[in-house]
């Protein structure tokens, strides 16, 4: 398909914000950013020097989110570039994603609660003109808050914000503008090219003080000045906010059991949370048909939908070549499997999981099987498990 070529550049000056979806481009991107996952990453990752400066992080998230790249693969690339010690900070950050995935898997009600809160927030916007005005100014980048307005416009125009900027943005949204947090999370999910139910919902909850209860993330003007290298200097921020609270806590549920691939002929279903069919362990099953189910994040804008579609088509083409059988996009309600049992990679909580047909066999990857069980509480338990997980996967 046209428009997929990654520009060949000796150095990445500004970040390539098109995130071309095919796995070949993802691998190319990984090769180019692996040298940046060592000590320079640890030293500079909190700095957002702006869209035209050399990036301080890897921008691997659009690929990891769709599993065009796998976590063990990017961790191995970092080790190869730097050795196991210098890449430590980078690996810890990759495991933040894993932690959030495992946490949402064991607290699925946090996702349904978020969806309910988005609906509540929309009702409030419909009935409260003051709130509606503040919301409209926030998403249009028209609040007069230095930095925040640029970030709102950057997000809409490019689908991307640096991690630290996401934290400042969410904090200002919740505590200075006093807008409902779920509407901010929804604004992110619609526009982010890496929009992910677990990382996004739980990061917004974390900023609000709902994830680590009573501990909110506070955006401070001096921190913004420092880590934007003086590009922004906002005034009027609420730097002494009260963390949000919720009355009813969400219960932890056991990790649902994973399936085993059936013997004999199967139909393989691909979805947007795992577009890596070549590496799925299908045991003795023989794939005779392949379907691709597109379940975009709710309200996703065209840029995100287009990236999802390109990524899916690339995965379908790779799967067809790997298994030697036809592959095409399918609809959730369609009967496409020819009567064969349907197998799929595990879809974590979110739109793909909600769209999977009843009765399909969902198989978890060894990485998730190892890393999700300790994710029921805080990140620390996952962090302590990292060396054992990497050893079990045969990584240095």
Ligand X SMILES: Cc1cc2nc3c(=O)[nH]c(=O)nc-3n(C[C@H](O)[C@H](O)[C@H](O)COP(=O)(O)OP(=O)(O)OC[C@H]3O[C@@H](n4cnc5c(N)ncnc54)[C@H](O)[C@@H]3O)c2cc1C
228 vs 337, which CB is nearer to ligand X?
228
Least distance to ligand X, CB of residue 318, Å:
21
CB 293 within 8 A of CB 333: no
Least distance to ligand X, CB of residue 45, Å:
5
| d(C-alpha 377, C-alpha 125), whole Å | 34
Least distance to ligand X, CB of residue 166, Å:
4
344: region left, alpha or beta (phi > 0 left; psi from -120 to 50 alpha): beta
160 vs 323, which CB is nearer to ligand X?
160
Least distance to ligand X, CB of residue 37, Å:
7
**Sign of the C-alpha dihedral computed for residues 124, 127, 131 and 135 taken in this order:** positive
Least distance to ligand X, CB of residue 228, Å:
15
The residues that touch ligand X, with contacts defined as CB under 6 A, are 45, 57-61, 64-65, 93-94, 96-97, 100, 163, 166-167, 170, 188, 192, 194-196, 199-200, 203-204, 207
Q: What are the angstrom distances between the C-alpha of 202 and each of 50, 173, 188, 199, 212?
A: 25, 16, 12, 6, 10
| d(C-alpha 297, C-alpha 148), whole Å | 24
200 vs 337, which CB is nearer to ligand X?
200
| d(C-alpha 161, C-alpha 192), whole Å | 8
80 vs 331, which CB is nearer to ligand X?
80
57 vs 228, which CB is nearer to ligand X?
57
Least distance to ligand X, CB of residue 290, Å:
26
167 vs 315, which CB is nearer to ligand X?
167
Q: Tell me whether residue 272 is exposed, middle or buried, using C-beta atoms within 10 angstroms of its C-beta: 0 to 12, 13 to 18, 19 or more.
A: buried
Q: 146: closest CA among 86, 215, 219?
A: 219
The count of C-alpha atoms lying within 13 angstroms of the C-alpha of 336, restricted to the half-sphere facing its C-beta, is 22
3-class SS at 327? Answer: strand
Least distance to ligand X, CB of residue 333, Å:
28
Token couple for 213: 């209860």
| d(C-alpha 116, C-alpha 313), whole Å | 32
First to last CA, the chain: 38
Token couple for 240: 């002494």
207 vs 347, which CB is nearer to ligand X?
207
Least distance to ligand X, CB of residue 359, Å:
30
65 vs 318, which CB is nearer to ligand X?
65
135 vs 323, which CB is nearer to ligand X?
135
Least distance to ligand X, CB of residue 74, Å:
7
Q: What are the angstrom distances between the C-alpha of 203 and each of 103, 115, 170, 199, 311?
A: 12, 15, 9, 6, 25
92 vs 369, which CB is nearer to ligand X?
92
CB 368 within 8 A of CB 101: yes
Least distance to ligand X, CB of residue 125, Å:
20
Gyration radius of the chain over CA positions:
21
């Amino acid at each position: 398909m046209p428009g997929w070529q990654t520009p060949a550049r000796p150095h990445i000056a500004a970040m390539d914000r098109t995130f071309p979806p095919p796995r070949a481009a993802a691998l190319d991107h990984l090769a180019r950013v692996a040298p940046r996952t060592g000590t320079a990453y640890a030293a500079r990752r909190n700095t957002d020097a702006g869209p035209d400066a050399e990036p301080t992080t890897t921008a691997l998230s659009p690929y990891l989110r769709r599993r065009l790249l796998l976590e063990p693969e990017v961790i191995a690339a970092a080790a190869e570039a730097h050795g196991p010690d210098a890449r430590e900070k980078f690996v810890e950050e990759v495991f933040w994603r894993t932690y959030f995935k495992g946490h949402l898997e064991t607290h699925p009600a946090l996702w349904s609660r978020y969806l309910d809160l988005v609906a509540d927030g929309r009702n409030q916007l419909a009935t409260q003109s003051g709130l509606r005005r503040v919301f409209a100014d926030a998403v249009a980048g028209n609040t007069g808050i230095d930095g925040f307005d640029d970030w709102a416009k950057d997000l809409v125009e490019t689908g991307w914000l640096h991690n630290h900027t996401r934290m400042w943005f969410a904090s200002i949204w919740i505590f200075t503008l006093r807008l409902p947090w779920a509407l901010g999370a929804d604004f992110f999910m619609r526009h982010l090219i890496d929009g992910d139910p677990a990382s996004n919902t739980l990061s917004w909850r974390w900023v609000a003080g709902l994830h680590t209860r009573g501990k909110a993330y506070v955006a401070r003007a001096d921190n913004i000045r420092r880590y934007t290298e003086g590009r922004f200097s906002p005034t009027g921020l609420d730097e002494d906010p009260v963390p949000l609270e919720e009355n009813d806590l969400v219960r932890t549920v056991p990790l649902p059991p994973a399936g085993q691939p059936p013997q004999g002929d199967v139909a393989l279903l691909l979805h947007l949370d795992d577009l890596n069919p070549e590496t799925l362990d299908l045991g003795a099953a023989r794939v005779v048909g392949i379907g691709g189910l597109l379940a975009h994040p709710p309200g996703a804008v065209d840029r995100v939908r287009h990236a999802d579609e390109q990524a899916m088509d690339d995965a379908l083409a790779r799967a067809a070549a790997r298994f030697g059988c036809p592959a095409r996009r399918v609809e959730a309600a369609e009967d496409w499997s020819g009567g064969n049992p349907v197998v799929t990679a595990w879809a974590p909580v979110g739109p793909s999981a909600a769209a999977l047909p009843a009765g399909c066999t969902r198989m978890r990857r060894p990485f998730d099987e190892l890393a999700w069980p300790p994710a029921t509480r805080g990140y620390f338990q996952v962090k302590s498990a990292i060396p054992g997980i990497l050893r079990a996967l045969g990584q240095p």
